[in-house]
Amino acid sequence: MKKLMLLISLFSIVSKIHGQNTDSSLVVPNSIRTYTDIRLKANPYMLPIAASSIRGSYPVELSFAKTTHIVFPSRIVDFDAGSDVVIATVPDPVQNILRVKADVKGFYDETNMTVLTEDGGLYSFLVRYNDNPDVVTINISNNVIADEMATKHLGIGLSSNSSPNAYVLGGGVYNEEAVKTNCLKVSDYKGFIKHIGAKKDGLRTLLKGVYQEDELIYFKLEIENSSLMPYTLDFVKVFMRDRNQVKRTAVQEEELNVVGIYPVNNAQVPYTSRTTKVIAIPRITLTDGKLLEIEVYERKGGRHMKFKIDNDTLLRTKNI
């Protein structure tokens, strides 16, 4: 009798499970059914996220008692944290360094933060708490090769048969990889422009060439140091300004987005040495009374240089 009752109970349980599995409103994917009994509602309009579309995130440990500094290849234009346990500032003199720490001691849950830079870069971080993190200074620019290797190994990010990421900036949509490639090409081109640039304290910045492709203008700059003090370029800005300024009138200016810069790393320029820098901005023409002004800033120093470019120089632009 006991055996009969046990068989009836087992049959009842199996019947209930079978009835649930035949519910047409529930679909359990094979990959999920293999590991767990979680049920997902059917959604015929759900698109899968391909591995090639996934961008990796950097792991960061933050402390309440220690400050972490993260150096980016371009000026920081936006920051967002997933939780208020993370606080961050950008030091006023330097615009490409993020100073970040924990606002709550010993927070338990993992959170995230995202940084956008002026050159269109998007950087994602997964944040955890650690009283004594091993790493408190990170230079993202020096992580490019490791990023490519890890991305390839994980099978995420860009693949050979997918289109590179495009970023929407102030002047339009630009192909990040194409901009990098063009900057590299321009850096190898022989200069054809002379006598446009600026000098200051033993330093000289010259415009060597102007090129265009895909709605962008590329400027090839050469920085030469004849002073005994080494020079490190921090960042470059481009403005559209009035040609003539009348006294007691406001200066009309517009800062233009620097879409690309090469090389990303700002190497030091020692005594009697020179280096090449290529920047890209959205293609423009200048109306009457307007000039372009390129400003070159020194890292942790005051030897900033600036010079003007008129429309006649822009019209000498060559194709890449």
pLDDT for 265-315, tens place per residue? 766 888 888 999 999 998 888 888 889 999 998 888 888 999 999 999 999
> Residue 301 has what pLDDT?
82
Please calculate the CA angle 288-183-186 and round it to the nearest 5 degrees: 80
pLDDT digits (tens, 9 = 90+) for 34-83: 444 555 566 777 888 888 788 889 999 999 999 999 998 878 889 999 99
* Residue 123 near residue 144, CB atoms below 8 Å: no
- Rounded average pLDDT over 134-159: 82
Cα separation, 310 vs 308, in Å, equals 7
Residue of higher predicted confidence among 301 and 166? 301
Of 56, 55, 59, the closest CA to residue 110 belongs to 59
* Residue 274 near residue 223, CB atoms below 8 Å: yes
Cα separation, 233 vs 96, in Å, equals 12
The structural domains of the chain, with segments of one domain joined by +, span 2-41, 51-154, 172-319
Q: Which of 21-30, 165-174, 247-256 has the highest mean pLDDT?
A: 247-256
Residue the block writes with tokens 């402390």: 63
* Residue 120 near residue 259, CB atoms below 8 Å: yes
Cα separation, 240 vs 237, in Å, equals 10
Cα separation, 279 vs 274, in Å, equals 17
Cα separation, 122 vs 77, in Å, equals 10
Q: Which tokens in the block code for residue 95?
A: 């615009």
Q: Which CATH number fits domain 172-319: 2.60.40, 3.10.20, 1.10.287, 3.30.420?
A: 2.60.40
Cα separation, 97 vs 74, in Å, equals 9
Is 23 a residue whose pLDDT tops 80?
A: no
Name the CATH superfamily for 51-154. SARS coronavirus X4 (2.60.40.1550)
Cα separation, 179 vs 45, in Å, equals 35
Q: 269: which residues sit within 8 A by CB, 6+ positions away?
A: 223, 224, 225, 230, 231, 232, 233, 275
Strand, helix or coil for residue 188: helix
